[in-house]
Chain A
Amino acid sequence: MSGNPTVFPKDPVWPGEGSSRIPFWAYTRDDLYKQELERFFYSGHWCYVGLEAEIPNPGDFRRTVIGERSVIMVRDTNGAINVVENVCAHRGMRFCRERHGNRKDFFCPYHQWNYSLEGNLQGVPFRRGVKQDGKINGGMPPEFKLEEHGLTKLKVATRGGVVFASFDHDVEPLEEFLGPTILQYFDRVFNGRKLKVLGYRRQRIPGNWKLMQENIKDPYHPGLLHTWFSTFGLWRADNKSQLRMDEHFRHAAMISTRGQGGKNDEVVSGVDSFKDQMKVNDPRLLDIVPEPWWNGPTAVMTTVFPSVIIQQQVNSVSTRHIQPNGHGSFDFVWTHFGFEDDSEEMTQRRLIQANLFGPAGFVSADDGEVIEWSQEGFEQNPAHRTVVEMGGYDIADSEHMVTETLIRGMYAYWRKVMGQ
């Protein structure tokens, strides 16, 4: 044996008691990843599926994903929203291939089994057999019951126009799942106004899905990584801010009020991304108009564990849906929206500020990049660990953003649920 530490440890154990040092193997192991799907995405949690505004009329549906499981969000003839798994009850194929549309019922092309918009099996071709030469050939066994062979139905909850679903019918009510503190920030955006979908952006990020949750629980980086945030004071260490969590530390809200920007040596000296002389040529990129519903803060970033991020960055609002595919990759789907009472001017403003976000955004493109590079670092030496100790070791709400406490909180919860 040499003194060289192992790079690929067998049966590794979490180093120490707390959650301030996260082993790289938490991001690289397939077995843990499958367990995460089971324990976070497929049970005990509400996952984001979409917005009611995406399916306004009876029969409207949209195909989406929970974890790796394809599901369909559909409005039935009574106006209720159902979510069913996109797997045929016959021989298991993913039958719905369109991404959205309007239908009276669903059917699987393979053997044409037919389902209602509630997911009930309505018809099976040749169920009673086929008559030929005076006798009946084939057919399903007499004890076969349609009622026993519907699509997998998920439990559905909607609030403020947002649709959540869970494969776990024993999951606690959505409001309890979010907890009173996070619910307040959720309701701040989704306060009952009708939403107006502006469009989608999709990217595939080669990194573990938890890195995206971490990124939005990490108020330490925005004023450093993102020039636009540091230079224009949109988000940086001298902004008035709060960090809030639910009682399990799984969800969080980062709340910030824009400062003056410019040169405050305390927070920008030596910061590579800070550009003292930078001005935008077209001021519309930063044409920020405060809205009454903000109630003060200019940005609130809410992470709902495990599946969605709710973004309000000045006039740009979106949901960002995390759709993992393997331990080292996830799809990240942005749905930008506005509100029904937006003026045409406000809609344009939201669309122009959207240039800061998304897979090509002045700000957000950086986040995808650093997540990819983090994953590369983890893969090359799973035995190593991160150091998440800005602001100490504890997990607590905070009145400033010079801390990684929210990430420590998330991993305390992760350890508990994963038994690691």
Chain B
Amino acid sequence: MKMTIDFQTYFELLNLYSDYAMAVDSAEWEKWPDFFVEDGTYRLQPRENFEQGLPLCLLALESRAMIKDRVYGVKETMYHDPYYQRHIVGTPRVISVEGGRDADTIHSEANYLVVRTKYDGESTVFNSGHYRDVIVRTPDGLRLKSRLCIYDTEMIPNSIIYPI
């Protein structure tokens, strides 16, 4: 089945990816849950688990409410070294669509690289992987039904606090 979406839809898709990256890089954590539908899920999973069919994730946030709990954790409860992060996200690749050229549901993926900079530190590659997304159309525009970040990075440089 050959998948096509119209350019308007693809343009919206591009915006979703770049707005997400901008939100998580600009420390506006409250915006992060809004990219998801209410029963949307966010999972950050080591590649080794994914490839072996092991279910464990680094983070498995099973609803927008749980993603909000993570935001509260990041802002209020987790003691951590502050850092800047910068997402470099590749052009999304549409894998399949449902619901015609203006698409109700899009399955897409994109590579990402996150660079971390701590105060007084150099900028280093922090996390490298790809997103596997299911995106749905809502009255407010495209939203994530699920985002699975599968990362190659074998050793987390100590800890991950902010959203990838």
Q: Which residues of A contact B (CB under 8 A)?
A: 99, 197-206, 225, 227-228, 273, 275, 278, 280-282, 284-285, 331, 336, 347, 351-352, 354-355, 358-360, 362, 365-366, 368-370, 372-373
Cβ-based interface call for B60 (8 A): yes
Shortest CB distance B20–A (Å): 18
Q: Which residues of B contact A (CB under 8 A)?
A: 44, 46, 48-49, 52, 54-63, 65-66, 68-70, 72-73, 76-81, 154-161
Contact: B79 with A366, CB < 8 Å?
yes
Contact: A359 with B159, CB < 8 Å?
yes
Contact: B80 with A281, CB < 8 Å?
no
- Closest B residue by C-beta to A225: B79
Contact: A206 with B59, CB < 8 Å?
no
Shortest CB distance B164–A (Å): 9
- Closest B residue by C-beta to A206: B158
- Alpha-carbon separation in the docked complex, A336 to B57 (Å): 10
B residues within 8 A CB of A368? 158-159
Q: Which of B56, B60, B77, B158 is A362 in contact with, Cβ under 8 Å?
A: B77
- Closest A residue by C-beta to B76: A275
Shortest CB distance B119–A (Å): 13
Contact: A201 with B158, CB < 8 Å?
no
Contact: B44 with A360, CB < 8 Å?
yes
Q: Which of B55, B81, B160 is A351 in contact with, Cβ under 8 Å?
A: B55
Shortest CB distance A53–B (Å): 11
Contact: A203 with B54, CB < 8 Å?
no
A residues within 8 A CB of B77? 227-228, 273, 275, 278, 362
Q: Which of B52, B56, B155, B158 is A369 in contact with, Cβ under 8 Å?
A: B158
Contact: B154 with A199, CB < 8 Å?
no
Interface of A is mostly: mixed
Shortest CB distance A385–B (Å): 24
Q: Which of A202, A351, A365 is B155 in contact with, Cβ under 8 Å?
A: A202
* 24 pairs, CB–CB < 8 Å, chain A vs chain B: A197-B54, A198-B54, A199-B55, A201-B56, A202-B155, A203-B155, A203-B158, A204-B156, A273-B77, A278-B72, A281-B69, A282-B69, A285-B66, A354-B56, A355-B66, A358-B58, A359-B159, A362-B70, A362-B73, A362-B78, A368-B159, A369-B81, A369-B158, A372-B158
- Alpha-carbon separation in the docked complex, A125 to B155 (Å): 38
B residues within 8 A CB of A285? 66, 69
Q: Which of A284, A359, A373 is B156 in contact with, Cβ under 8 Å?
A: A359
- Closest B residue by C-beta to A273: B77
Shortest CB distance B158–A (Å): 5
Contact: A205 with B158, CB < 8 Å?
yes
Please judge, given known A-B contacts A352-B60, A360-B159, whether A372 and B76 are in contact too, CB under 8 Å. no
- Alpha-carbon separation in the docked complex, A275 to B77 (Å): 8
Contact: A199 with B158, CB < 8 Å?
no
Shortest CB distance B57–A (Å): 7
Shortest CB distance A332–B (Å): 9
- Alpha-carbon separation in the docked complex, A417 to B69 (Å): 46
A residues within 8 A CB of B69? 280-282, 285
A residues within 8 A CB of B56? 198-201, 336, 351, 354
A residues within 8 A CB of B54? 197-200
Shortest CB distance A354–B (Å): 6
Shortest CB distance A51–B (Å): 13
A residues within 8 A CB of B55? 198-199, 347, 351
Closest 10 CB pairs of A and B: A199-B56, A227-B77, A199-B54, A281-B65, A282-B66, A199-B49, A282-B65, A204-B155, A365-B159, A359-B156
- Alpha-carbon separation in the docked complex, A347 to B80 (Å): 30
